[in-house]
Chain A
Amino acid sequence: MISVKKVDNRPLNLLERLYLPEIARGLLVTTRHFFVNLFNPKGMPTVQYPEKTIPLPHAARTRTRHRLKVRADGSPKCVACFMCQTACPAYCIRIEAAEYPDNSVEKYPAVFDIDLSRCVMCGMCVEACPEDAIAMDTLEIPGGALTRSEMLMTREDLLRNLPGEAPSVLGASNRLANEYLKSKGEQ
């Protein structure tokens, strides 16, 4: 909604043009803030991240640190199609594809790195993923590291399901994988 603010552009009166009373008023405001915050530091909105965290407010929950989903059989849901790497505006994703030795139908990511120091948290990788393999729903905020290597998420850091989450068995590659696994079990 567009709101209209009406500005009162009246000429300054004598007291205001003297400047000093207005300075005193301004000083009063800042001094009040100073003393209130000095004696009641808990009242400030600052959170001492990363030592302390707070529950994220509504909209902030939609894009948090990435994870790669895991199938029911423990393999990554990702098929190394490079869609997220292509979509990423910050070039922070690096994928190296590999093939299962006994499944010539689909690939898997041998390397899946996300450099969180470059990530802009735009969520375009999630939008681009055809397999629903990458998600940004861990409710963790990246950051607060002292070195760049601490900000580099490798495949092992990323691969996990959320607690209580039923691993997906849907999707083309899942079906193929399940069929493959089933056939392997029948033999």
Chain B
Amino acid sequence: MTATLLAHKDLLLFIGAAALKVLVFLNGVMGFTALLTLAERKVSALMQDRVGPNRASIFGLALNGLFHPVADGIKMLVKEDFVPGRADKLLFALAPFFALVPVMALFALIPFGDYVMVFGYRLDLVIAQVPLGVFLVLALSGLAIYGVFLGGWASGNNFTLLGALRGAAQMVSYEVVLGLTLVGLMMIYGTAGLQDLVRAQGKLLFGFVPAWGIVVQPLGFVLFLTAAIAENKRTPFDLVEGESEIIGYFMEYSSMRFAAFMFSEFVEIILVSMLSATLFFGGWQVPYLYDTGFVLPGGAALPLNHYLVAALQVASFSAKTVFFSWFLLVVRWTLPRFRFDQLMTLCWKRLLPLALFNILLTGAALLALGKL
């Protein structure tokens, strides 16, 4: 028995490490998602000179509303789980999973740190190291359309079907732009693996500017963020749901199934934030921080412990994620909603040509610099 275990030591270690990473990373993401549901309400309140929710309390302790996600969760669990009589029962039950699972799976690809040496064993701080991670990200986020469309269709309601049609049209359209904006990045860094992309962003341009994606692809970043928000179905592109005015695809859902749709939207906020940080803001990179410590462009160096460097890098990635999540909330509560024809015009007549132009520009610049 022991001999068999020892023979498969590497495999067992790999499985154990992967399970541990999934547990830690996904729990962190879930916790952050719960906080984000509160943050959405608190940020919007502060922007509108309100206080926001602060009443849910445990033993008289309210902590300025920190228990509201718990209260929401309990409320969702004990509500009636209604299934319309005309619904397709199987697909109706499956749709929330289709909405949630692809989004959750995407976290496996996101590098949240470089690596840590634990007892001489190298632990890469990414759950799945995929050589062509960018393509897998695009493929999986494309799967999220199924959740929207099945949810709207299986409800057996014409209004949800219309909402689902809007959703499918919007997501398919912006998928194209989303993919094309990333081509420029891949051309410059010469790789499509997310961990490799982050490592490449650790280099310096002209000896002092970190070669982050935002520096080399500013237009690409604006296009990516726009397309990502649209893909995420958030205001100003929330015609898929349009909770208050036009009826969305999950109108017939209630209780925990509705919560799954809502939850997947908040998880997507984190995902978009993480992708923006990873692709355009150097992921876990801290400027001038290398394996051995800080090395400033002037030559001054500050050697740091390996674990401290790893912790700093994970903290940097977390900080960037939190910042972008906050930024997406601010955008959501600032901009008015587009009309659907404006949405389509923006995608096909503005963003798509700009994305193609960006690729052309990047190619021309690379050719001029002799790096092609």
Contacts and interface: CB of A to CB of B under 8 A. Distances in A.
Interface of A: 20, 23, 26-27, 29-31, 33-34, 37-38, 41, 44-46, 48
A38 B51 CA distance: 10
B222 to A, nearest CB: 7
Interface of B: 43, 46-51, 222, 330-331, 333-335
Contacts of A23: 334-335
Contacts of A45: 49
A23 B336 CA distance: 10
A135 B46 CA distance: 39
20 contacts: A20-B222, A23-B335, A26-B334, A26-B335, A27-B330, A27-B331, A27-B334, A30-B330, A30-B333, A30-B334, A31-B330, A33-B46, A33-B48, A34-B46, A37-B49, A38-B46, A41-B51, A44-B50, A46-B49, A48-B51
Contacts of B50: 44, 46
Contact of A46 (B43, B51, B222, B335): B51
Contact of A33 (B47, B331, B335): B47
A145 to B, nearest CB: 13
Contacts of A41: 51
Contacts of A26: 334-335
A44 B51 contact: yes
Contact of A37 (B46, B222, B333, B334): B46
A19 to B, nearest CB: 9
A184 B335 CA distance: 77
Nearest to B336: A26
Contacts of A48: 51
B54 to A, nearest CB: 8
Nearest to A37: B46
A37 B47 CA distance: 8
Given A20-B222, A23-B335, A26-B335, A34 B330 contact: yes
Nearest to A20: B222
B334 A33 contact: no
Nearest to A44: B49
Nearest to A23: B335
A30 B50 CA distance: 13
Contact of A34 (B43, B51, B331, B335): B43
Top 3 closest pairs, chain A to chain B, by CB: A37-B46, A30-B334, A46-B51
A30 B331 CA distance: 9
A18 to B, nearest CB: 10
A48 B222 CA distance: 41
Contacts of B43: 34
B63 to A, nearest CB: 14
A45 B45 CA distance: 12
B330 A33 contact: no
Nearest to A33: B47
A29 B330 CA distance: 10
Nearest to B49: A44
A175 B49 CA distance: 55
A158 B47 CA distance: 41
A41 B49 CA distance: 9
B350 to A, nearest CB: 9
A23 B332 CA distance: 11
Nearest to A35: B46
B131 to A, nearest CB: 35
Contacts of B46: 33-34, 37-38
Instruction: Tell which of B47, B222, B333 has the most Cβ of chain A within 10 Å.
Output: B47
